[in-house]
A = this chain, B = another copy of it.
């Protein structure tokens, strides 16, 4: 039996291992597999409609009676002009033509989707809610807390971790520079918050009273155990679970990761308008020269969405957002439950003489 950490106690899970909420790539099968093994699965609901979220929660609950989390993107409202949109359309035109598609017009309304998702989470009896891209407003936090929800924030600097704690988050993911996909930075330009996991975790741990969850570059038992040594109460793994059979990432995406090297990824805004780490490809290379023309999130995301979905179908990794962390050489395929058991065994093996165990 492993020692309990504050995180495993609060979340009521056996192992301090969390499957990162990879928006667009989680499935009920993935989330349930991790939770059933004694970790914490997370539904990446960042792009979900109320309907999708309701269905995903129901499907997950049908597969596990263990705790799992739902992750939401805290909404932000940027503005763009018609001219900016038309200009981006021109830039993207060759790609759309090549795929034989017409691009969507980005339709971003300040609707109440976020609040509806919050209500669904509460009604569905989900007990854990995590957030990316900032902190929801006081009313939302109050509502979730009154419903008995455990709240998990995300930080890329010590200051962001402190603000999460002050806002009432029960624990905070500190996301190191190595992490795949979107930077959770919400105070400064993400390029000013590029702190590696090895440096960030102990500094964040020292600064906040709430438990810290380490994320970024963690791919195996070594990374999980090292995270705990650095002062984290749990480790969150994204890329490691992205390549499992249950993940919704297209095969072409998984295969590129499985063949990649540790320095193949880069931070880019070309796909979504927000900085995210993915494996370098032609689209990043080509569009990066239009740096100043890239639309803010979520506009850029919407304008490249159909292209990416078609690229995935066509097996065109040159046009796909190949989100990935830096630990790619350690990526494995196989089933999520199998990966999870291997992770536990790897930690057991390192602990050896039961030092980390009871």
Query: A residues engaging B (CB < 8 A)?
Result: 157-159, 176-178, 188, 192-200, 202-203, 206-207, 216-220, 222-223, 225-227, 229-231, 261-263, 325-327, 329-330, 350-353, 355-356
Q: Oligomeric state, in number of copies? A: 2
Query: By the criterion CB–CB under 8 Å, are A263 and B198 in contact?
Result: no
CB < 8 Å neighbour of A261 from B159, B350, B353: B159
**With A196-B197, A329-B158 as given contacts, are A202 and B219 in contact (CB-CB < 8 Å)?**
yes
Q: Which residues of chain B come closer than 8 Å to A178, judged between CB atoms?
A: 177, 195-196, 198-199
Main secondary structure of the interface of A (DSSP, over half): loop
CB < 8 Å neighbour of A202 from B157, B196, B223, B325: B223
Known: A176-B198, A177-B196. 17 other contacts (CB 8 A): A158-B261, A158-B329, A177-B178, A188-B263, A194-B263, A195-B262, A195-B326, A197-B198, A197-B199, A198-B198, A198-B218, A199-B262, A200-B326, A202-B219, A203-B329, A203-B330, A226-B226
In the complex, the chain B residue whose C-beta lies closest to that of A200 is B262
Chain B min CB distance to A130 (Å): 21
CB < 8 Å neighbour of A325 from B199, B206, B218: B199
Chain B min CB distance to A260 (Å): 11
Query: By the criterion CB–CB under 8 Å, are B225 and A199 in contact?
Result: no
Q: Which residues of chain B come closer than 8 Å to A229, judged between CB atoms?
A: 222, 225-226, 229, 350
Query: By the criterion CB–CB under 8 Å, are A230 and B222 in contact?
Result: yes
In the complex, the chain B residue whose C-beta lies closest to that of A215 is B198
Chain B min CB distance to A75 (Å): 25
Sampled A-B contacts (30; CB under 8 Å): A157-B261, A157-B262, A159-B261, A177-B196, A178-B195, A178-B196, A178-B198, A193-B263, A195-B326, A196-B198, A196-B216, A197-B197, A197-B198, A197-B199, A198-B216, A198-B217, A198-B226, A199-B219, A199-B326, A202-B223, A202-B330, A203-B262, A203-B330, A206-B329, A206-B330, A226-B227, A226-B230, A229-B229, A229-B350, A353-B355
